[in-house]
Chains A and B, each alone.
Chain A
Amino acid sequence: MGALVFFFFYGSILFFIVAVALRIVRTVKAPVHLHWELYKGSSVYEATDWWTKTHSSFVEKLCSMALDLLTLREFYHRNRRFWYPLIVFHIGLYLLILWHAWLFVRAVVMNVETASAFGWVWGTFSTFLTFVGGVVILWMRVTDKELRIYYPPIHYIKWVFVLLTLLGGVYAVDVHFGSKMPALLKYVREQVTFADFEHKLHPAFGPALHIAFASAWLVYLPFSHVFQVFFRYYHYLRWDDVPNARGSEIEQRIKEQLERPVTWSAPHIPSGKRWKEVASEAHQPPGSRTR
Chain B
Amino acid sequence: MQTQRKKTRLQDVSRRTEEPLVTVTAEDLMRLPPPLDRVEEKAPYSPLSEEQKKRVECALDGVSALSLPKPKNKEEEDKLVEQFLGGLRKLLSQNDNWSFWQPLIQSLESCVRCQTCSDACPVYVSSGNQDIYRPTHKSEILRRIINTYVKKRRKLLSKLTGDDIELNWPVVARLAELAYRCSLCRRCAQRCPLGSDNGLIGRELRKLFSQEMGIAPKELHDSGTMQQLKVGASTGVTPAAFGSMVEFMEDEIEEKWGRRIKIPVDKEGADLLLIHNSGEFMSWIENPVAFAMIFEAAGLSWTLSSEIYGYEATNYGTWYDDVQFARIAIQQAQVAKKLKVKKMVMAECGHAHKGLIVVADRILVGDLNYPRESFLPLLEDLVCNGKLKLDPQKNNFPVTLHDPCNVVRLMGIVQPQRRILNRISPQFREMEPHGLENYCCGGGSGFAIMNSNNFREWRENISSRMKLKQILETFQDVMDPDVKKYVCAPCSNCKGAIRDILSSNDLWEKHGIYYGGLVELVANALVDLKEPFIEWEWH
Contacts and interface: CB of A to CB of B under 8 A. Distances in A.
A42 B415 contact: yes
B371 interface: yes
B412 A43 contact: yes
Contact of A291 (B109, B213, B358, B411): B213
B389 interface: no
B106 interface: yes
Contact of A48 (B109, B210, B377): B377
Given A36-B100, A48-B378, A232-B106, A246 B366 contact: yes
Interface stretch (A72-80, A191-199, A208-216): A72-80
Contacts, number: 252
**Could you tell me the dominant secondary structure of chain A's interface residues?**
loop
B413 interface: yes
A25 interface: no
B413 A237 contact: no
Most buried by A among B68, B215, B362: B362
Interface in B339-378: 343, 357-367, 369, 371, 373-374, 376-378
B529 interface: no
Contacts of A40: 412, 436
Given A232-B110, A243-B361, A263-B90, A46 B377 contact: yes
Interface in B478-531: none
Nearest to A239: B412
Question: Chain B interface mostly helix, strand, loop or mixed?
Answer: helix
Interface stretch (A164-172, A182-190, A275-283): A275-283
Interface in B353-408: 357-367, 369, 371, 373-374, 376-378, 381, 408
B195 interface: yes
A8 B83 CA distance: 43
B112 interface: yes
A50 B412 CA distance: 12
A76 to B, nearest CB: 9
A291 B68 contact: yes
A42 B376 CA distance: 13
B86 interface: yes
Given A48-B381, A228-B106, A283-B230, A237 B195 contact: yes
A35 B359 contact: yes
A125 B381 CA distance: 57
B174 interface: no
Given A150-B10, A266-B211, A266-B214, A279 B326 contact: yes
A31 B94 contact: yes
Contacts of B87: 264-265
Q: Which of A43, A245, A265, A291 has the most CB of B within 10 A?
A: A291
B373 A49 contact: yes
A46 B416 contact: yes
Contacts of A74: 192-194
A33 B222 contact: no
B229 interface: yes
Interface stretch (A93-101, A110-118, A151-159): A151-159
A39 B95 CA distance: 28
A213 B373 CA distance: 55
Nearest to A257: B98
Contacts of A46: 376-377, 412-416
Interface stretch (A9-17, A128-136, A173-181, A247-255): A247-255
A267 interface: yes
A39 B113 contact: no
Nearest to A29: B94
B160 A232 contact: no
A63 B344 CA distance: 35
B101 interface: yes
A172 to B, nearest CB: 28
Contacts of A264: 87, 90, 96, 211-212, 323
Interface string A62-78: 00000000001011001
B369 to A, nearest CB: 6
Interface stretch (B13-21, B183-191, B447-455): B183-191
B285 interface: no
A51 interface: yes
Contacts of A35: 358-362
B100 A33 contact: yes
Contacts of B413: 42-43, 45-46
Interface in A20-49: 27, 30-49
For B102, B213, B216, B371, the residue with the greatest tally of chain A CB atoms inside 10 Å of its CB is B102
- What are the 4 tightest A-B residue pairs by CB atom distance, in nearest-first order? A43-B412, A39-B412, A74-B193, A152-B162
Interface of B: 10, 68-69, 83, 86-87, 90, 94-96, 98-103, 106, 109-110, 112-116, 118, 131, 134, 136, 140, 159-163, 186, 189-195, 197, 200, 210-216, 218, 221-222, 226, 229-230, 309, 322-324, 326-327, 330-331, 343, 357-367, 369, 371, 373-374, 376-378, 381, 408-416, 436
Given A38-B409, A238-B195, 16 more contacts: A34-B322, A38-B186, A38-B189, A38-B410, A41-B412, A41-B436, A79-B114, A154-B161, A232-B106, A244-B362, A254-B362, A266-B210, A266-B213, A282-B331, A283-B230, A286-B226
